[in-house]
Amino acid sequence: MTTSQLADPISPLVALVSIYERCKDILRSVGHEWCLNNHDQKAIQARIATEHQQLEEWGHSIGLDGPKKAQLSSSSDGYLLDRDFHESTQGILESIVSIFEETIAGLAPHYELPPPSSAPPTGSFLSAKNPTSRWHRQDKVRFMAFAETVHYHIGVLLQKLDYFESVTSG
């Protein structure tokens, strides 16, 4: 985000919408990889860790904390963003980040494959993708709960954006 964009009073809204789009992309891509790579806990952990780091950086970059907050709160023409909107949005972003942190922390024990002795000598990948396998069902339930929680926070964010747009356009 450039300095000229920071001076644009609508840029915080644009940035928040782009974060919403990013969250949707994360859910879509991680969900896809969850299905493809559920036999490989390191792959999915690395992907979610990367996405978490990027999401956290986005939260910092739009100035909802730190020195940029004042720049985003007002512009040269006197446009003022609602302080409560800033604080609640920051809380939502922090919640999303914490969801990613908790998910990363909880992935490893739930991604352990059955011991090699219990796995068939061939076709272990197919075995790992078998939807009747108990560990796979548990992972699916955990991912759906994770996705629903993130969707909830995104929904709250969108409600705030709708309110913000109605106030500023009125």
Residue 134 placed within a domain: yes
Residue 69 placed within a domain: yes
Select, from the ranges 62-71, 77-86, 135-144, the one with the highest average predicted confidence (pLDDT).
135-144
User: What is residue 68's predicted lDDT score, i.e. its pLDDT?
Assistant: 44
Residue 117 placed within a domain: no
User: What is residue 95's predicted lDDT score, i.e. its pLDDT?
Assistant: 60
pTM value > 0.95: no
Q: Kindly give the interhelix angle for 134-169 and 83-110, rounded to the nearest 10 degrees.
A: 170
Query: Among 26, 34, 24, 48, which Cα is nearest to 131's?
Result: 34
Residue 118 placed within a domain: no
Give 108-164 pLDDT, tens digit per residue: 454 443 444 444 333 333 334 444 444 455 555 655 565 566 566 666 666 665 655
Q: Number of folded domains in the chain? A: 1
User: What is the domain extent for residue 142?
Assistant: 3-112+123-169
Residue 31 placed within a domain: yes
Query: Among 67, 95, 51, which Cα is nearest to 6's?
Result: 67
